Structure 1
Amino acid sequence: MAAACAPFDKPDLRDEIENARREREQIIDHINLDQVTFSGFSEQAETLATGLIQRFADYIAAHKDEIAALDFFYQQPYRRRQLTFDMIEELHEHLSKPPLMLTTERLWSAYARVQAGQVKGLTSRRQLTDLVSLVRFALGLDTELKPFSEQVDKRFQEWIFRHNAQRGTAFSPEQTEWLRLMKDHIASSCSIGRDDFDYAELADKGGLQKAWGLFGNELDGLMDEMNEELVA
């Protein structure tokens, strides 16, 4: 035991240990506790967010006749053509490159800073189609900023309820499941057409042949309705 402790009898080693202790020592004051005086966003951060939102609005107004995705929302509903993923992708490319650097994530965060009470889905992972929600909110078409998928879900529920009420017989459980698959595709891609049945889950479930077997001649009309009502 004495041999093991012998190195600590050296003054130089004891001094090094004491110096190291002082450097790392933390004193915790349990009496004079810190108090939070402000828990919101800084004034500078809010100013930057406001400026970013203004640049977004200015860009929409200046390019509404040049970029198809913007022109879509300025048209009267009866004149609108189908909004496509390619159109949204084109808009995203214009917004996200310098000097604007207006990515979907930055815009969503900016609105959350400035209009927190009207912004939902802060913890959701941003999708490219959320740009649809951002444009609609900026133009005043929606009073709340919600993820595009949530908006599609809500409109789908309203659409299928109305359809079932108007039809002689409601959609069967299998038809309803396929309509939900089609709705999910619209939520991620903005639209659905015959070619889309060759991809992902729609193809795994039987593709266009299966869908045609379930809906027959109604299929194209149902897709047109869903593209119009679930997006715009």
Structure 2
Amino acid sequence: MDITDRKNILIIEDDDSVAEGLADILAGYGYNALKSSNASDSIQKLSDNRIDLIVLDVHLGDENGYELCKKIRMDSDIPVIFLTACNSEMELIRGFQSGGDDYVTKPFRMQELLVRIQALLRRTARSGHEKKITGELELDINRCHIFKNKKSVELSTTEWRIAAVLIEHYPAAVSREELLYQVWDKDAMYVEENTLNVNISRVREKLGRYDGQQYIETVRGIGYRWSVDVK
């Protein structure tokens, strides 16, 4: 394999012996392994290098891995595998909520970590992490997330679905009935009329305006339409 085709994996681990061991084994399997022991250096390495996947220890000296993952997620969708000595359900949930893609508990078998790395890299290559740009917004379709000027916009699942459906249909308008069905699926018949209005208002408020206009416009007699060009 040509060295330019190798995947770059960033190991963020403050235990030098663990980091060295991981780097050596990953190199033996054809990966380029970069090492970092703290948050600030990790951010710098992400800026200076093309990183394909991150192996992130939860417990770092200057900052915990969950908080670092949140910072990474503000402008990057690079796959993240957490390493941790904790295997409680709450820790698992916390890891995924902070933006992690997978979770390996210490002590772990290296073969297990390698399989998880390979699976994540295949999934990333297959999905392509599709993104769309509209006004000041960037949509990460695969992660169901919206960034505004590189900052995360906190939307509920319902609010995200509303925005995603309208963007998918741009520049056409979407009827209220169709929007209800696509957002709430089989439960749409039980959703009150005002529920859609409230959620539309919340999305508008959270996304703000672009060049003086709202991202979602009301089309009288039909429903709603995404009003800003989508690329």
| Greater relative contact order (Cα < 8 A, sep 6+) | 1
Would you call these one fold, judging by a TM-score over 0.5?
no
TM-score, with structure 1 as normaliser: 0.22
- Between structures 1 and 2, the one with greater helix share: 1
The structure with the largest strand share of the pair is 2
TM-score normalized by the length of structure 2 = 0.22
